Amino acid sequence: MQRSAETDMKTRQQNPDAPGFQFPCDYQVKAMGLDDGEFRDTVIEILSDHCTVDAGRISCRASANGKYLSVSVTIQAESREQLDAIYDALTAHEKVLMRL
């Protein structure tokens, strides 16, 4: 019997240390916002408050019309609390329109 993504998410919420999500681990954080020439640096600055950011693990992709920029950074996640803090900081920043 296959488990649905919704079931997996509920399991992780109830037990964040459930098998399949073990720390430390590589984890990709993605944030999207207007490509104002500074958005990439803004995302890196936010992440740097919570973890080490390796320049070789950063990738960016502009939207088709160039208005938006997606910044993906693979980090070494140490805990669920660390990830929660990162996502809270990204959500709170006015330049971040979406985070994944």
Q: Is residue 10 part of a domain?
A: no
Decide if 5 is inside a domain. no
Q: Measure the CA–CA gap between 45 and 65, rounded to whole angstroms.
A: 26
Is 1 a domain residue? no
Query: pLDDT at residue 26 above 70?
Result: yes
In the prediction, which pLDDT does 13 show? 52
pLDDT digits (tens, 9 = 90+) for 40-76: 999 999 999 999 999 999 999 999 999 999 999 999 9
Is residue 20 domain-resident?
Answer: no
Q: How many domains are contained in the chain? A: 1
Residue 94 domain flag: yes
Is the torsion defined by CA of 76, 33, 92, 13 positive or negative? negative
pTM: 0.79
Q: 64 is in which domain, residue-wise?
A: 28-99
Domain contains 18: no
- Let me know if residue 8 belongs to a domain: no
Q: How many CB atoms lie under 10 A from the CB of residue 24? A: 11
CATH number at residue 73: 3.30.70.260
Structural domain includes residue 64: yes
